[in-house]
Structure 1
Amino acid sequence: MKVLLVGGGGREHALAWRISESPLLTKLWCAPGNPGIAAHAECVAIGAEDVAGLVGFARGNGVELVVAGPEAPLTLGLADACAAAGIPCFGPSAAAAMLEGSKAFTKAVLDAAGAPTAAWRRFDDPRAARDYVRAQGAPIVVKADGLAAGKGVVVAATLEEAEAAIADIMESRVHGAAGASVVIEECMTGEEASFFALCDGTRAIPMAAAQDHKRVGDGDTGPNTGGMGAYSPPPAFTDAVRDEVMARVVEPVLAEMGRRGAPFRGVLFVGLMLTETGPRVIEFNVRFGDPECQVLMMRLRSDLLPALLASARGDLSGVSLEWSEDPALVVVMAARGYPGAVRKGEVIGGLEAAAAVPGVRVFHAGTARGADGAVVASGGRVLGIGASAPDLRAARDAAYAAVDALDWPGGFCRRDIAHRAL
């Protein structure tokens, strides 16, 4: 089978690695890819948001499955364009991708499905939003309504922080068009978890859960990022919690999306708060998380490709997935300054030494080839140092041993990934 994977980050490196292992695969391309992905796929210079270019390449090369990594091409209609060309695509239609494209849409779907979530209001006027937070008090959550690369959420501990977030999002437009409106929610307390379910439009099968670390600094301090590390499985996410989330969230939401004429196919990423009264939905994403995908792929024991194809074709009957009992962990190496402005082009040494640590796999996210062929930093989140071991502490020790083997003065990481479990 010929497959085109779309994207060029750490999530796509993990997917490329697992897809490349499938006995069904005859050819794997990745657009645009990165130096790490190039070990598993032929990288082609097509941007992840160039829907016409991607579909044209797929048609011209006999691609039998397109796998969407990031959310942007899905919200731009990649799955719809593939369907029009007769090519199966793993990922939802643009209408179904609104579960990530609009926070307000998601909250309306959750309410209609009767799924547990935080109380909320949507605002187009910053003055009305400020009046609301003053009436509600802090802590309170302010979210850009549209896509903001995982950074458009502020958990405000004070009214001043909430009002500053409204000003940044709606008036300064730090997230661009995503900040045309905001969703303001009650602040839920508990432990966060990310749960993934594979969907075919009418049915879903559970995958696995992970816990992400959003704050940039140790001890969950500093601004939110796209994710500084993750581990799987989180001890708080028990089988009973999984069954409750499937019954009270995933299945009712799938039914509601069907009623709206936008059946959901692909992977549904359920961001959860595990509260004292049970799991409640924080948000949905319509693709694998990054860096959660890396730890899921390290734990997966089944052939990934048939499951992706079955989801794309709308028939998951007979599909089951097996997972390793061994936990997995990933530490994100970011460039100094992240999540703000970063310096690019610095050579990263020690990659082979890091990969040689037992149980470790190095995922490339924001890397490129320099003029002399060396791997250089080209983004904010640059590497994901993954490790798997019979217990979580051993996995963490291996990951940090690999981090210490790198020669990259301009990089940094959190040193407390999985601290809640350990």
Structure 2
Amino acid sequence: MNVLLLGSGGREHAMAWSIAESSKLNNLYIAPGNPGTGEVGTNVDLSFSDFQQIRDFIQEKSVDLTVVGPEKPLVNGIVDFLEENGHPVFGPSKYAAQLEGSKKFANEFMKQNRIPTAEFETYTRSQFDQALQVIKAKDEYPVVLKADGLAGGKGVFICETEEEVVKRLDELKENEKFEDAAQTLVVEEFMEGQEASVFVISDGQTAKILHYAQDHKRIGDGDTGLNTGGMGAYCPTPVIGNKMLQRVEKEIILPTISAMLLDDNPYKGILYCGLMITDDGPKVVEFNCRLGDPECQAILPSLESDFLELIYAAATESLDQKEVRIDDLYRCCVVLASDGYPVEYEKGKEITGIDDVSDALVFHAGTKSQNDKIYTDGGRVLSVVGQGESLKQAINNTYEEVEKISFENKYFRSDIGAKGLVYFDH
């Protein structure tokens, strides 16, 4: 099977690595890829936004399956375009991808289908002052502000005070990076509990749980500082036991997949359920229409099933014939970032020590190759994934390997997975 994978981050390196393990694979192309994906397949210079160029490449190389890693081309309708041209593709349609592409759409969808989530209100850009007045009148903090559209994981703010609400509303209104995403504002109640992520693979009719993990979004130890795309993750998370997983499936996953099917918009691909495990049960914080980054880097090495077989079955509506099997190990993923991320940071710092890592996987994200050397080229640079028979062992093994990698302005959280350890301290 010839496969084209779209993307260039740590998630896509993990996906490429997992696809390359399949005995069913003939050629793997990654567009545009990164230095890491180039070690398991062939990087090709294609643009996400040029659907015609991608279609021409698929026809030229006789690609049997296109796999879409990041959210933007999904929200922009690449699946619809390729399927209309007769090419199997793994990912949700433009309509279904609105579950991630529009917070307003997702919240209204959940409300209509009685899927548990936070109470919310929406405001247009011209109504931001009205939103502020409503928040001030309620005087209930924390309160959550969300840019409606895609903002690279940086359009969500948890505000503890009125002053912070004012600051974040001004930022959403005036910062040009939010110009498209913040045309609509979603204001949500703050949900108390533990966050966790459940990943589902679906062919539109059959949905199966891949795995579940816990992400660490804040930049600083102890979940402090700004939200990021994710600074690390571990799996499985004890926040979700078997009974809770059954509730998630019954109250969230099946109603979502069923509602899409009944609406003649079957959901095919990965459904990422970002959850808050509250005293009242699981509630949806957000849906994503693709694998999470960095959770993907932790969960795919846990998969004993053939990942390529699973995603091809989902794309061709035959997932009911496949079984999802995961091993019984714990995994911890620590993101190495450029100091200053997620705001301003320097690029072009030489990275050393990757080849010294012996007991963990290293997935590239913001890197570039030049003269046989690897340099930093983004905010999140590398993901280091270690494993163990216990969560503590997985964490310790990962951080031992993290120390082997060096670059100027290297930054990472030192507490990835620590919040899971409390479940084992008796």
TM-score with structure 1 setting the length: 0.97
User: SS in structure 2 opposite 1:369?
Assistant: strand
Q: Percent identity?
A: 40
| Aligned 1:293-372 pairs, distance under 5 A | 293-354=296-357, 356=358, 358=359, 360-370=360-370, 372=371
Q: CA deviation at 1:136?
A: 2.5
Q: CA deviation at 1:191?
A: 0.2
Q: CA deviation at 1:330?
A: 0.4
1:44 paired residue number: 44
Q: Are the aligned partners of 1:51 and 1:77 in contact in 2 as well (CA < 8 Å)?
A: no
Q: Are the aligned partners of 1:6 and 1:32 in contact in 2 as well (CA < 8 Å)?
A: yes
User: What is the aligned counterpart of 2:245 among 217, 221, 242?
Assistant: 242
Task: Give the Cα–Cα distance (whole angstroms) in 1 for the partners of residues 298 and 387 of structure 2.
Answer: 8
| Aligned 1:122-271 pairs, distance under 5 A | 122-124=122-124, 125-137=127-139, 138-271=141-274
Q: Are the aligned partners of 1:365 and 1:384 in contact in 2 as well (CA < 8 Å)?
A: yes
Task: Give the Cα–Cα distance (whole angstroms) in 2 for the partners of residues 208 and 136 of structure 1.
Answer: 38
Task: Give the Cα–Cα distance (whole angstroms) in 2 for the partners of residues 5 and 49 of structure 1.
Answer: 14
Q: CA deviation at 1:200?
A: 1.1
Q: After superposition, what is the alpha-carbon deviation per residue over 1:231-283, rounded to whole angstroms, capped at 9, x for unaligned?
A: 00110111111111111111111122223332110010000000011000011
| Aligned 1:26-175 pairs, distance under 5 A | 26-124=26-124, 125-137=127-139, 138-175=141-178
Task: Give the Cα–Cα distance (whole angstroms) in 2 for the partners of residues 42 and 389 of structure 1.
Answer: 31
User: SS in structure 1 opposite 2:314?
Assistant: helix
Q: After superposition, what is the alpha-carbon deviation per residue over 1:146-204, rounded to whole angstroms, capped at 9, x for unaligned?
A: 00011110011112112221221134344230011110000000000010111111221
Q: Are the aligned partners of 2:193 and 2:277 in contact in 1 as well (CA < 8 Å)?
A: yes
2:424 paired residue number: none
Equivalent AA in structure 2 for residue 406 of structure 1:
I
Q: CA deviation at 1:373?
A: 2.4
Q: CA deviation at 1:408?
A: 0.9
Contiguous gaps of at least 5 residues in structure 1: none
Equivalent AA in structure 2 for residue 199 of structure 1:
S
Equivalent AA in structure 2 for residue 203 of structure 1:
T
Equivalent AA in structure 1 for residue 111 of structure 2:
D
Task: Give the Cα–Cα distance (whole angstroms) in 2 for the partners of residues 206 and 191 of structure 1.
Answer: 20
User: SS in structure 2 opposite 1:230?
Assistant: strand
Q: Are the aligned partners of 2:90 and 2:312 in contact in 1 as well (CA < 8 Å)?
A: yes
Q: CA deviation at 1:391?
A: 1.1
Task: Give the Cα–Cα distance (whole angstroms) in 2 for the partners of residues 53 and 330 of structure 1.
Answer: 34
- Give the number of equivalent residue pairs: 418
Q: CA deviation at 1:49?
A: 3.2
Q: CA deviation at 1:229?
A: 0.2
Q: CA deviation at 1:131?
A: 1.3
Task: Give the Cα–Cα distance (whole angstroms) in 1 for the partners of residues 156 and 210 of structure 2.
Answer: 26
Q: Are the aligned partners of 1:59 and 1:85 in contact in 2 as well (CA < 8 Å)?
A: no
Equivalent AA in structure 1 for residue 408 of structure 2:
P
User: SS in structure 1 opposite 2:321?
Assistant: coil
RMSD: 1.1
